[in-house]
Structure 1
Amino acid sequence: MKPFKFKQFEILQSSDVFRVGTDGVMLGALANVDNADRVLEVGTGTGLISLMLAQRNPKAEFLGLDIQNAAFELTRRNFQNSIFNARLKNIQQDFKLFESSEKFDLIVSNPPYFEESDSSKDKVARQTIELNFEQLISKASVLLSENGIFSVIIPAEIGRDFIEIAGGYHLFLDRRVAIKGIENSKTKRLVLEFSLVENVIKESVFVIEKSPRKYSDQYLELTKEFHIFGK
């Protein structure tokens, strides 16, 4: 499988690990990493999101977790091959069992979101087998620093449930980005950000394509420091 090339780094890919996709790119470009010193990514896959965030914040240190050995090895290689490698570390770990004496300023995840089924395609990466939403949220609430942010991208139809579960763990919705695949279509994904402090919710809408296979100016502007293409 061909590597996916970005402007400042390259992502090696594997048929055993969920590939580079729009969801990961969107979260890597939108997650609020500006004031973070310590970042935790839950479920690294290829390591794409951490690498994008490392490019956006040149002082933050990153720890990536993935339960899959294939994903752990692929992330390790992609981290080591990048110019940000001194600030990137990853371990093979079940997030439910992960412990840390230090808190994180940003916890970010593109979590599994299909209920368990008979499909073998991307079984761990895309289905809620190893980590369900409540397990992810409850653990994140414990590991988040006082002023930290918990940032995820999920399908729009399960956003209300996710927000409700987060509220049960004293995580308040701070930001909501509704992502549409194309103009005048239904919201496809949500980037949701939570904090331990209740604030006025910041809401926005993001459109990926202005017509089929033609990126919107909004998307081109957001990803201009990453993707190798022009308007």
Structure 2
Amino acid sequence: MKPFKFKQFEIQQSKDVFRVGTDGVLMGALANVINAEKVLEVGTGTGLISLMLAQRNSSAEFLGIDINEEAVNLTRLNFENSPFYVRLKNIYQDFKSFETEGKFDLIVSNPPYFEESDSEKDKLARQTVELNFQQLISKSSKLLSENGIFSVIIPFEIGGDFVKLAYENQLFLIRKINIKGIGNSKTKRLILEFSLTEKEVEESEFIIEKSPRQYSDQYLELTKEFHVFKNRN
């Protein structure tokens, strides 16, 4: 499988690991990593999100964990071949049993969300089999630093339930990005960010395409430091 090339790094991919996709790119470009010193990514896949965040924050240290051994090996390869490799580490670990003395300023995840799927390839990456939302939220709330942020990207339809679960675990919604595939369409994804302190929610809208297969100016501007776009005539 061909690698996915970005401006400052390259993502090696595998047919057995969930590949580079728009959700991951949006998460890597939009998650609030500005003031973070220690970042944890839950379910690294190829390592894309951590690599994008490492490009955006030149001093933060990153730890990625994944329960898929093939994904761990792939992430390690992509980390080691990047210009940020000294700040990037990943481990083969079940998040439910993950223990550490330190806290994280940012915990980020593109979590599993399909209850059922016929795809064996994406079984671990896209089913709530190995890690459900309650487990993800509960564990993250315990690992956040005092001013830390928990950031996820999920389908719009389950946003309400996710926010409710987070609230029950003392995590308060502070930022919500409504993501649309194309203008005037329904919201398809949400980027939700939570903290241990209740604040006014910052809400915005993001549109990926202005017409079919034509990225919006908003998307082009957001990803200009990452994507290698072909020159337009």
TM range (shorter): over 0.9
State the Cα distance separating 1:118 from its structure 2 match: 4.5
- The answer as to 2:149 corresponding to 1:155 is no
* Helix, strand or coil at the partner of 2:74: helix
Q: How does 1:151-190 map to 2 (within 5 A)?
A: 151-190=151-190
> Residue by residue, what CA displacement relative to the aligned partner does 1:53-107 show, whole Å, maximum 9, x if unpaired?
0000000000000000100000000000000000000000000000010000000
For 1:106 and 1:117, the matched residues in 2 are separated by 30
State the Cα distance separating 1:151 from its structure 2 match: 0.2
**Which residue of the partner structure matches residue 222 of structure 1?**
222
For 1:94 and 1:185, the matched residues in 2 are separated by 37
> Residue by residue, what CA displacement relative to the aligned partner does 1:10-29 show, whole Å, maximum 9, x if unpaired?
00000010000000000000
State the Cα distance separating 1:117 from its structure 2 match: 4.0
The Cα RMSD (Å) is: 0.8
State the Cα distance separating 1:130 from its structure 2 match: 0.3
**Which residue of the partner structure matches residue 205 of structure 2?**
205
For 1:95 and 1:39, the matched residues in 2 are separated by 14
For 1:110 and 1:200, the matched residues in 2 are separated by 24
Q: 2:17–2:121: 8 Å Cα contact kept in structure 1?
A: no
Q: 2:15–2:121: 8 Å Cα contact kept in structure 1?
A: no
**Which residue of the partner structure matches residue 46 of structure 2?**
46
For 1:90 and 1:121, the matched residues in 2 are separated by 22
* Helix, strand or coil at the partner of 2:39: strand
> Residue by residue, what CA displacement relative to the aligned partner does 1:171-218 show, whole Å, maximum 9, x if unpaired?
000000000000000000000000000000000000000000000000
For 2:118 and 2:227, the matched residues in 1 are separated by 35
What percent of counterpart residues are identical? 75
Opposite residue 52 of structure 2, the aligned amino acid is: M
State the Cα distance separating 1:120 from its structure 2 match: 1.5
State the Cα distance separating 1:169 from its structure 2 match: 0.4
Q: TM-score, normalised by structure 1?
A: 0.99
For 2:164 and 2:198, the matched residues in 1 are separated by 14
Q: 2:41–2:65: 8 Å Cα contact kept in structure 1?
A: yes
- The answer as to 2:115 corresponding to 1:93 is no
For 2:117 and 2:56, the matched residues in 1 are separated by 37
Q: TM-score, normalised by structure 2?
A: 0.98
For 1:71 and 1:119, the matched residues in 2 are separated by 17
- Give unmatched runs, 5+ long, in structure 1: none
**Which residue of the partner structure matches residue 122 of structure 1?**
122
* Helix, strand or coil at the partner of 2:91: strand
**Which residue of the partner structure matches residue 33 of structure 1?**
33
* Helix, strand or coil at the partner of 1:177: strand
For 1:88 and 1:30, the matched residues in 2 are separated by 19
For 2:13 and 2:119, the matched residues in 1 are separated by 21
Opposite residue 132 of structure 1, the aligned amino acid is: N
User: Which consecutive aligned stretches of 4+ in structure 1 deviate over 3 angstroms post-superposition?
Assistant: 116-119
